Amino acid sequence: MSAKSYVNDTLELIKKYSSRQPIFLQCATEVLKSVTPLLEVNKTYEKHSVLERLVMPERTIIFRVVYIDDKGKAQTHFGYRVQFSSALGPYKGGLRFHPSVNLDILKFLAFEQIFKNSLTGLYIGGGKGGANFDPKGKSDAEIMRFCQAFMSELSKHIGYSTDVPAGDIGVGAREIGYMFGAYKKITSKFDGTLTGKKITWGGSLARKEATGYGTVYFSEELLREKGMDFHNRICVVSGSGNVAIYTIEKLQQLGAKVVAVSDSDGYVYDKDGIDLALLKDIKENLRLRVSDYAARKKGAVFVSKVNYEKGTNGIWSVPCDYAFPSATQNELSLEDAKNLHKNGCKLIAEGANMPCTLDAQKYILENKILYAPAKAANAGGVATSALEMQQNANMTSWTFDEVDEKLHKIMKDIYLRTSDTAKEFGFEHNLLAGANIAGFRKVADAMIDQGYI
């Protein structure tokens, strides 16, 4: 069979068995189509049914989570953990608490995580989990009770050598703390089963900063190869969570000016450059919205999403040299990519997971906009989680500079691995193909080595 037919047959299989999972299908389509050239030159993968095996999670756990809200009412949610692949190590990946969470989204995130984790060069498999719970507007006590209820089931399925969850959208240090406390109480174990812990009880310095810093380190390598840098460049960073905040911090350290950030209500344009201390206070301490940033900062304007043009995300109409989509999946459409291009944008670097739609990706590559794809560019977060696991296993802790230096080296290595693989297959400018092929090859080879399981 030709590699193209093998890929198409596998995608048909996904459509048949996961017919109501369009986002997982989108992600699988991207990965499988890009690895076609590898499957063409190496028929071993087809011989060992690697694709059919790889697109099916090793295990999926779906459970009920019930907690009591502040009014004394029982609230019920879906909890999930998708343990997708353990070919390279224990399942590793974050937990997302967001009302949009469902099996489709978690399968896409877990699948993406397999190849991202492979690219880090560390021994971690791929998984993801979460719940359709909205932390927005909940009291601290409600968050604690929800985390405890969630962990009362999840604890049965995780462990430092089996599955190591971390944070993602809606799950930060506070939630990890409550879940870690619950895990410890249920199992009587104090170990490295969760990452993203606070520094004082087993966390790693620089973990909080790692995804954002890593995205900038990766982009720096890409720009360097083209004789470009960040100095005096205008940047737009979507989102305002952990990834966005530390992307902005590193960009500012390298001399760039970030003029816009966003959240699910809209975006803020600040022509003088985002005041990071104010943004951190608003988001990390006060847990407020970016509209509150605009209300407190002279010269900053808030544009509500109700005013966005149909089919677009308003923040991408802000002219910039470099764009960092760091909010969520499919936040940058074909129209948005065209807008960015028209306004002279030279680089799109993905801090979020799969922020560009398939047609936006195609447009970006065809128009030779520099493109740092998510599974390579944002791998710094999970890589530093693996460094946290290493520190926990050795009962030690490294300084901020030690971790940051290791992160920097890991991102440089990921860049090399990605661009070398792209060149090997004749796609000089296509890091997406490079990342997918390099990530896939290592996992697929390990699956063959380990037999049919």
C-beta of 149 vs 374, nearer to ligand GLU: 374
CB of residue 345 to ligand GLU, shortest distance in Å: 24
Classify residue 126 as exposed, middle or buried by CB count within 10 Å of its CB (0-12, 13-18, 19+).
buried
C-beta of 152 vs 195, nearer to ligand GLU: 195
Q: Which residue is nearest to ligand GLU (CB)?
A: 94
- DSSP H/E element including 126: strand 126-131
Residue of 104, 142, 163, 168 that binds ligand GLU (CB under 6 A)? 168
Q: Please, which of residues 85-104 interact with ligand GLU by CB under 6 A?
A: 92-94
Residue of 328, 385, 392, 418 that binds ligand GLU (CB under 6 A)? 385
Q: Give residue for tokens 């969760």.
A: 194
Q: Is residue 353 within the footprint of ligand GLU (CB under 6 A)?
A: yes
Hey, which residues are catalytic here? 128
**CA angle, 360 then 416 then 7, to 5°:** 50
Amino acid at the residue 334: L
Q: Is residue 166 within the footprint of ligand GLU (CB under 6 A)?
A: yes
Give all strands of the β-sheet with 163-166 in edge-to-edge order: 59-68, 74-85, 126-131, 91-97, 163-166
Q: Is residue 326 within the footprint of ligand GLU (CB under 6 A)?
A: no
The maximal CA–CA distance of the chain, rounded, in angstroms, is 63
Q: What is the SS3 assignment for 370?
A: strand
Q: Is residue 239 within the footprint of ligand GLU (CB under 6 A)?
A: no
C-beta of 355 vs 381, nearer to ligand GLU: 381
As a whole number of angstroms, the distance between CA 173 and CA 166 comes to: 9
Q: Please, which of residues 418-437 interact with ligand GLU by CB under 6 A?
A: none
DSSP secondary structure letter of residue 160: T
As a whole number of angstroms, the distance between CA 331 and CA 2 comes to: 34
Residue of 195, 219, 357, 361 that binds ligand GLU (CB under 6 A)? 195
CB of residue 378 to ligand GLU, shortest distance in Å: 6
For 267, list phi and psi in degrees, rounded to 5.
-130, 160
Alpha helices in 274-345 (DSSP H): 276-280, 290-296, 334-342
Q: Are 212 and 241 in contact (CB under 8 A)?
A: no
CB of residue 344 to ligand GLU, shortest distance in Å: 30
Q: Please, which of residues 434-453 interact with ligand GLU by CB under 6 A?
A: none
CB of residue 248 to ligand GLU, shortest distance in Å: 18
Q: Please, which of residues 43-62 interact with ligand GLU by CB under 6 A?
A: none
Cα dihedral 433, 437, 439, 442 in deg (nearest 10): -170
As a whole number of angstroms, the distance between CA 403 and CA 136 comes to: 32
As a whole number of angstroms, the distance between CA 127 and CA 117 comes to: 10
> HSE (CB half, 13 Å, CA atoms) of 220?
20
CB of residue 28 to ligand GLU, shortest distance in Å: 17
Kindly give the pairing relationship between strand 257-263 and strand 91-97.
unpaired
CB of residue 94 to ligand GLU, shortest distance in Å: 3
Q: Is residue 175 within the footprint of ligand GLU (CB under 6 A)?
A: no
CB of residue 239 to ligand GLU, shortest distance in Å: 13
Q: Is residue 375 within the footprint of ligand GLU (CB under 6 A)?
A: no
Residue of 125, 203, 381, 434 that binds ligand GLU (CB under 6 A)? 381
Q: Is residue 214 within the footprint of ligand GLU (CB under 6 A)?
A: no
Q: Is residue 202 within the footprint of ligand GLU (CB under 6 A)?
A: no
Q: Is residue 209 within the footprint of ligand GLU (CB under 6 A)?
A: no
Interface ranges with ligand GLU (CB under 6 A): 92-94, 166, 168, 195, 353, 381-382, 385
